[in-house]
């Protein structure tokens, strides 16, 4: 395992994000977006082969599907998991770990992809709608990928519409079951965080080389906790970079982070 | 028994104010020929229940929608549907925003004639607070509090499939049939457009009976509409028309863009539509999308 001589920050984040799925066992690893999908693919072909993945359409595959244009039938189906079975089989069974990029995240880990500003009846900016976030968050493991760490994403108060459940005590409805709420990693262009602080506070566990804790704090709308020992995010190995390139033959990862900056070695 | 209808007979059997469910998923396998028939009609004040794509944007732009019940509205490669956004940001639309799983759960509650189905989904989120959902406590020892998802009862459901016969037997090929089956079961009447309508399925395609996603007692009208999912995808037959969808999305940025689109592309009739949209051969040859 040789550390690569050159790599991009995005590739470094993909490697860090793949750690979210380490040891998860037999569940569906869903990475929504270029970097999370590459991270899930990397996890499956390196440290956690038990993971299950789809081709993004309807089939389960044992060899992750590359991103971008390819032959329609290039993917080899090993199983079947269409949307028509997705809630039964993957979400409401808890057999899934998704990594997503919400528009807003608050101190409780609540996220928003519904709308920004205004009101429910007249939003300032309409987005997708809640999609599967309420169900995902109350049933299975979730992680997040944020390519531009800022106060616009990590908001000061609550998110504008709570699309997914977090650890906000004010929203813990009495008698309801929140046992399966399980937020793991947040990987950003500045740092890696988890929910390991007191009462699930968001905590910095890694800083990318050259980034200081106060830089991450200044780009966050709420107080971050520091892990007792903050590590430096490791550089990718030559082997990891080759796998990422194999699953991203059109280099879509070059447009994940503005100007596609180089990564730094530790 | 003959359930075959012309597209004119189909649209004449709907009424303003109805609650209509639309099958498919985002820009995938939408009954767009039926949606276009509604766009060309005088129908108004509709409540639309769907996993939304361009069907929602077009119906909103044409002023047909009073209320939208949705899990999302997206065209995948064009993540944000521009006319849906316009309607939302203008504050002109009544909405009920659901989790994707809640939507199919509400269809199932309607299908089973239940007052509600219990779920954990929605609890702890604003989908619950804004949607006004109520909870119920388990009568068993655990005493757990769960959300009571009410039925999403439909006056009509619209689907697009590959094949139908005149008796109402339908076959949906392709890798995923989404929740079409449950839209049909939740509806008083289901209208299905098909790439091909045959006299008898057992005489034509008996080998594909497993593609019969819902039984014919739930199907009330079938309409032949070749390429009727365009511009959405219809695997394995044809893919979505992203160039067309991009032009549609771009029209939303122009003054009078929707009026031009309605007159120039949707137009007065379905046969002419296929010509205006590039012609049957070009549409039939659209490559399947890669995910």
ipTM for this model: 0.96
> For an interface test with A, which of B83, B88, B174, B288 has the most A Cβ atoms less than 10 Å from its Cβ?
B88
**What angle do helix axes B82-89 and B54-61 make, rounded to 10 degrees?**
50
| C-beta atoms of B291 and A163 within 8 A | no
| C-beta atoms of A82 and B130 within 8 A | no
Query: Would you say residue A1 has pLDDT above 90?
Result: no
| C-beta atoms of A84 and B123 within 8 A | no
Per-residue pLDDT band at A266 (split at 50, 70, 90) = low
| C-beta atoms of B135 and A129 within 8 A | no
**What share of chain A has pLDDT > 90, as a percent?**
95
- How far A2 CA lies from chain B's nearest CA (Å)? 32
Which residues in chain B are contacts of A129 at CB distance < 8 A?
Answer: 52, 70-74, 97
Per-residue pLDDT band at A82 (split at 50, 70, 90) = very high
Query: Would you say residue A265 has pLDDT above 80?
Result: no
Q: What is the pLDDT of residues B148-186, one digit of tens each?
A: 999 999 999 999 999 999 999 999 999 999 999 999 999
Q: Is B88 at the interface with chain A, CB within 8 A?
A: yes
Q: What is the pLDDT of residues B170-227, one digit of tens each?
A: 999 999 999 999 999 999 999 999 999 999 999 999 999 999 999 999 999 999 999 9
Which residues in chain A are contacts of B105 at CB distance < 8 A?
Answer: 87
Per-residue pLDDT band at A248 (split at 50, 70, 90) = very high
**pLDDT (average), residues A147-168:** 98
| C-beta atoms of B80 and A128 within 8 A | yes
| C-beta atoms of A134 and B70 within 8 A | no
Q: Is B132 at the interface with chain A, CB within 8 A?
A: no
- How far A35 CA lies from chain B's nearest CA (Å)? 15
């Amino acid at each position: 395992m040789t550390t690569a001589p050159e790599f991009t920050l995005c590739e470094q984040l993909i490697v860090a994000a793949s750690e979210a799925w380490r040891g998860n066992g037999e569940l569906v690893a869903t990475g929504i977006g270029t970097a999370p999908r590459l991270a899930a693919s990397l996890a499956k072909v390196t440290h956690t082969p038990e993971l299950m993945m789809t081709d993004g359409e309807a089939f389960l595959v044992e060899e992750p599907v590359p991103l971008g244009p390819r032959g329609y039938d290039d993917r080899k189906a090993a199983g079947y998991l269409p949307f028509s079975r997705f809630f039964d089989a993957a979400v409401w069974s808890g057999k899934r770990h998704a990594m997503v990029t919400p528009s807003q995240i608050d101190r409780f880990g609540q996220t928003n992809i519904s709308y920004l500003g205004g009101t429910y009846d007249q939003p300032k900016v309409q987005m997708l709608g809640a999609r599967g976030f309420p169900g995902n968050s109350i049933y299975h493991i979730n992680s997040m990928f944020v390519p531009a760490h800022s106060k616009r994403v990590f908001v000061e108060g609550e998110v504008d519409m709570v699309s997914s459940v977090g650890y906000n005590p004010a929203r813990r409805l009495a008698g309801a079951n929140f046992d399966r709420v399980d937020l793991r990693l947040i990987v950003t262009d500045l740092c890696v965080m988890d929910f390991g602080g007191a009462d699930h506070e968001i905590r910095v566990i890694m800083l990318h080389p050259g980034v200081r804790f106060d830089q991450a704090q200044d780009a966050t709308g709420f107080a971050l906790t520091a892990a007792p020992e903050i590590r430096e995010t490791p550089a990718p190995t030559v082997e990891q970079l080759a796998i990422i390139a194999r699953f991203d033959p059109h280099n879509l990862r070059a447009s994940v982070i503005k100007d596609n900056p180089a990564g730094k070695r530790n | 028994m003959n359930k075959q209808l012309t597209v004119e007979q189909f649209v004449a059997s709907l009424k303003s104010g109805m609650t209509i469910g639309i099958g498919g998923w985002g820009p995938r396998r939408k009954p767009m020929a039926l949606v276009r028939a509604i766009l060309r009609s005088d129908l108004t004040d509709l409540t639309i229940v769907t996993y939304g794509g361009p069907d929602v944007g077009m119906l909103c732009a044409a002023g047909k929608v009073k209320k939208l019940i949705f899990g999302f509205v997206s065209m995948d490669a064009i993540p944000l549907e521009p006319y849906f956004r316009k309607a939302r940001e203008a504050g002109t639309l009544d909405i009920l925003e659901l989790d994707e799983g809640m939507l199919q759960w509400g269809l199932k509650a309607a299908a089973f004639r239940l007052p509600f189905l219990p779920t954990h989904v929605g609890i702890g989120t604003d989908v619950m607070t804004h949607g006004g959902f109520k909870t119920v406590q388990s009568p068993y020892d655990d005493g757990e509090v769960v959300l009571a998802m009410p039925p999403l009862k439909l006056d009509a459901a619209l689907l697009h499939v590959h094949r139908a016969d005149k008796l109402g037997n339908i076959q949906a090929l392709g890798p995923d049939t989404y929740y079409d089956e449950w839209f049909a079961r939740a509806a008083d009447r289901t209208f299905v457009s098909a790439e091909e309508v045959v006299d008898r399925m057992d005489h034509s395609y008996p080998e594909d009976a497993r593609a019969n996603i819902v039984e014919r007692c739930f199907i009330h009208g079938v309409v032949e509409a070749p390429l009727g999912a365009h511009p959405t995808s219809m695997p394995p037959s044809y893919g979505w028309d992203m160039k067309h969808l991009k032009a549609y999305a771009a029209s939303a940025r122009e003054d009078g863009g929707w009026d031009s689109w309605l007159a120039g592309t949707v137009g007065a009739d379905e046969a002419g539509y296929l010509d205006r949209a590039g012609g049957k051969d070009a549409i039939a040859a659209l490559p399947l999308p890669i995910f």
